[in-house]
């Protein structure tokens, strides 16, 4: 069951991947934002002007006004119809951009609709991507998507990969893509440079390709190996990024959980196993009752996130332990985390033994997380932790 949950998280574009990518966006931008907000809902009205970078995390985000700086947001539903005089960095379940962004657009989400403009490049990862007819990317567009529909204008190159892609817009430069299923260049589509693509079968080309068309058919085995390797690399990077953010926003708690991983490991493993078994059962019971549905859904979300991030604490402990043994200790916990997670990912991918290692890592991490939560609960009640 543990490995099944982990596989689901790693292999599908969902809210966890969106969240982790949001953390990447936060880290890739400047850290000196003067306007950092959080809450359930953010609305920047049409007549409202924000004269600085705006950071926001919440369930609903609507920007109809003007942001004179970067806009960095993460939420369930994100809508930008105003003007961003800087870069837009967004991650959410649904992202809709119909406004004007004068610099880069970087976005990750379940469903992404771009029907506005980007003054520079666009980097987009999503389950479903639609570049509308009114969209204009002034330079390059890089994508990673389940399905992609390109109807707008790209004044530079189009690069990336998708399960399936339909093109009816125009790309001034080259189109270089890896396709898992189907590529269609529809009537009216224009490619000013070369079309180079890999796919199980030739593309349906009814549009115009001014340059060369180069088709490479990938053998099934090679495609599977490459996809598997790429998936592990991305999983490592995502987990590293969310671990770094945990170290930034909750350094004390994150370090305390990692420090306690090796303390009474059998007890923590038992707590981890108990959490794995009892939580789904309790969630199902709550979902059966109408009153308990919201709580059941919350419990499922907590369960999935806890299973996913449990490896962060193990990775931090492993990295710090290894560096300590090598007399290479560092104040930079992110470096320790990077080394530790690399060791963790190597271990869980070992033949046969990797399954057992993966299970032990998750239950130990979960146990440490559960115990830390219990201690915090006791402390909040003014009692001694046991």
pTM metric for this prediction: 0.56
pLDDT digits (tens, 9 = 90+) for 113-172: 999 999 999 988 777 899 999 999 999 999 988 899 999 999 999 999 898 999 999 999
CA–CA distance, 83 with 67 (Å, rounded to integer) = 6
Question: For position 298, what pLDDT does the model report?
Answer: 81
pLDDT digits (tens, 9 = 90+) for 10-20: 333 333 444 43
Question: For position 45, what pLDDT does the model report?
Answer: 94
Question: For position 1, what pLDDT does the model report?
Answer: 38
Is residue 27 pLDDT above 50, yes or no? no
Dihedral angle at the C-alpha atoms of 380, 39, 310, 13, nearest 10 degrees?
160
Question: For position 374, what pLDDT does the model report?
Answer: 75
Question: For position 219, what pLDDT does the model report?
Answer: 60
The token pair that represents 380 in the structure block? 């909040």
Q: Read off φ and ψ for residue 242, nearest 5 degrees.
A: -70, -30
Question: For position 381, what pLDDT does the model report?
Answer: 67
Backbone region of residue 169 per phi and psi (left: phi > 0; alpha: psi in -120 to 50; beta: other values): beta
CA nearest neighbour of 243 among 195, 312, 183: 312
Question: Could you say which DSSP state residue 212 is in?
Answer: -
Q: Is 341 within 8 Å of 242 (Cβ atoms)?
A: no
Beta bridge partners of 107: 90, 124
pLDDT digits (tens, 9 = 90+) for 82-102: 999 999 988 767 899 999 999
CA nearest neighbour of 307 among 285, 283, 277: 277
Q: Read off φ and ψ for residue 90, nearest 5 degrees.
A: -140, 145
The rounded mean pLDDT for the chain is 81
pLDDT digits (tens, 9 = 90+) for 269-328: 888 888 888 888 887 777 776 667 778 778 888 888 888 888 898 988 888 888 888 887
Q: Read off φ and ψ for residue 384, nearest 5 degrees.
A: -80, 140
Question: For position 102, what pLDDT does the model report?
Answer: 96
| Angle, helices 220-249/2-11, rounded to nearest 10 degrees | 100
């Amino acid at each position: 069951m543990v490995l099944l949950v982990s596989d689901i998280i790693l292999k599908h574009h969902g809210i966890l991947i969106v969240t982790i990518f949001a953390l990447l966006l936060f880290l890739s931008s400047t850290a000196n934002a003067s306007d950092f907000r959080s809450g359930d809902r953010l609305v920047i009205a049409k007549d409202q002007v924000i004269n600085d970078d705006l950071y926001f995390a919440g369930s609903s985000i609507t920007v109809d006004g003007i942001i004179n700086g970067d806009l960095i947001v993460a939420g369930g539903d994100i809508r930008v119809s105003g003007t961003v005089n800087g870069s837009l960095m967004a991650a959410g379940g649904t992202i809709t951009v119909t406004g004007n962004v004068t610099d880069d657009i970087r976005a990750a989400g379940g469903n992404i609709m771009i029907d506005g403009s980007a003054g520079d490049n666009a980097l987009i990862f999503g389950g479903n991507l639609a570049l509308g007819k009114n969209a204009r990317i002034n330079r390059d567009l890089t994508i990673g998507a389940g399905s992609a529909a390109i109807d707008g204008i790209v004044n530079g190159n189009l690069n990336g990969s998708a399960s399936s892609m339909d093109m009816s817009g125009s790309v001034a430069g080259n189109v270089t893509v890896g396709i898992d299923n189907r590529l269609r260049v529809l009537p009216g589509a224009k490619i000013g440079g070369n079309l180079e693509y890999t796919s199980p079968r030739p593309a349906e080309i009814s549009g115009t390709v001014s340059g060369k068309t180069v088709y490479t058919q990938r053998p099934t085995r090679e495609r599977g190996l490459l996809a598997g390797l790429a998936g592990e690399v991305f999983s490592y990077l995502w987990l590293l990024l969310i671990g770094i953010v945990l170290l930034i926003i909750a350094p004390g708690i994150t370090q305390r959980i990692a420090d306690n991983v090796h303390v009474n490991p059998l007890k923590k493993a038992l707590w981890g196993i108990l959490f794995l078994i009892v939580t789904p059962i309790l969630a199902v019971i709550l979902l059966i009752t109408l009153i308990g549905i919201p709580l059941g859904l919350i419990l499922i979300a907590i369960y999935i996130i806890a299973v996913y991030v449990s490896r962060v604490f193990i990775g931090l402990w492993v990295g710090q332990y290894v560096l300590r043994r090598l007399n290479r200790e560092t104040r930079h916990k992110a470096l320790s985390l990077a080394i530790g997670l690399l060791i963790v990912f190597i271990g869980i991918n070992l033949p046969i033994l990797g399954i057992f290692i993966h299970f032990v890592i998750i239950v130990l991490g979960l146990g440490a997380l559960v115990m830390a939560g219990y201690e915090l609960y006791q402390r909040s009640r003014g009692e001694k932790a046991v």
